[in-house]
Each structure stands twice: as C-alpha cells, then as structure tokens.
Structure 1
C-alpha cells in the first residue's frame, strides 16, 4: 500500500496504482497537459472509494509507504487506462531519476 500525498490531502491506494498515477503525472507534465483522474482508494473504514486528483505540469505528488494491508487494491483496468492515456498525451517521455521512462515499453500493469 502507498499513501499519495497531494495538496495537503493524503489518500491510500495500492502500490501499482500510486506508481502508475505518478508516472502518468510525469508524462502529462512533460507534454504540458493536465487530466482529472478518478483514483481507486481505500477509505478509513477499509472500503474501496474513489478520489479525484488533478494531475499535470504543476502536480506535486509524494508517494510514501502505507501499512501493509490485506486490502491492497489492484486495479489492472485503471492502470491500463492510465497507460493508454499516457500514450495519447504527447510524444515527450520524461526520464526519471532512476533511469526509467514512465510507461515506456510496458505492456502489462
């Protein structure tokens, strides 16, 4: 599980969902675009909820580890939609500090 810290708010979601959102935000930023993303999250009572996040060039997302939770949500369809949207966002792909390009050459979530 990961926390997404965004504009004073903290939401909890699955690791792969959080990482996909951060990668998508980087691609949008590189191409000067924004998007509103409905992120699957875990509510305080453990239920699956949705948080709406505006991502783009000015996004400042911070991902931090959350306590392990048996409810770690995975949503391959959501991650696929982000990958598809990233492919349409424009030609520029940022290079992350770890040397990888968000979504480059990745077929699976």
Structure 2
C-alpha cells in the first residue's frame, strides 16, 4: 500500500494505483496539460471511497510506503484506464525503414 501526500492531505491506496497515478501525472506534465482523475482510497476507518486528484504540470504528489495491516487495495480497471490515458499522451514511434525517406530532398 502507498500513502499519497497531496494538497495537504494523505490518501491510502494500492501500490499499482499510486504508480499509475504518478505516471499519468508525469505524462500530463510533459505535454503541459492537466486532468482530474478519480482513484479508490481507503479511509482511516478502512472504508473504500473515491478521491479526485487534479494532476498535471503543477501536481506535487508524494507516494510513500504505508505501514498498515489493511489488505492491498486493487482496482485493475482504474490502473488500466490510467495506463491507457498515459499511453495516449505518448505518440507511438516506429523504426525508419530503408526507403522511408526517399520522398525527402537530401534525406535527413
């Protein structure tokens, strides 16, 4: 489990969820954009709730290991969505094949 320190509060969430949120925040910062995203958290009473994070270039999120007896919070749908949003911010490159540059004057 991870504790996310954000905007003066602390939020307990799963390792994969925290990692995916941080990766998405970094990707948004890289393109100068921001977004609000809901992630599951555990309250101090152990109840599962959702928290909305505004992430992007100005985000200051710190994730630290949590020393708790709670079962790992897992939400594969949230992780998959965050990973997909992160990938969408990074165009896919493909290797240049011989002949790809034939249409350019003087090559590269």
Is the shorter-chain TM-score for this pair beyond 0.5, marking a shared fold? yes
Match of 1:17 in 2: 17
Q: Deviations over 1:26-78 (max 9, x none)?
A: 00100111110101000111111111000001101100111143421111110
Match of 1:104 in 2: none
Cα distance between partner residues in 1 of 2:23 and 2:64 = 15
Classify 1:32/1:75 alpha carbon distance in 2 versus 1 (closer, same or farther; 3 Å). Answer: same
Stretch moving more, 60-69 or 3-12: 60-69
Match of 2:59 in 1: 59
TM-score, length of structure 2 as denominator length: 0.79
TM-score, length of structure 1 as denominator length: 0.78
Match of 1:49 in 2: 49
What does residue range 1-109 of structure 1 map to in structure 2 within 5 Å? 1-91=1-91
CA RMSD of aligned residues (A): 1.5
Cα distance between partner residues in 1 of 2:25 and 2:5 = 13
Cα distance between partner residues in 2 of 1:68 and 1:9 = 17
CA contact (8 A) 1:33 1:89 kept: no
Structure 2 unmatched ranges of 5 or more: 92-108
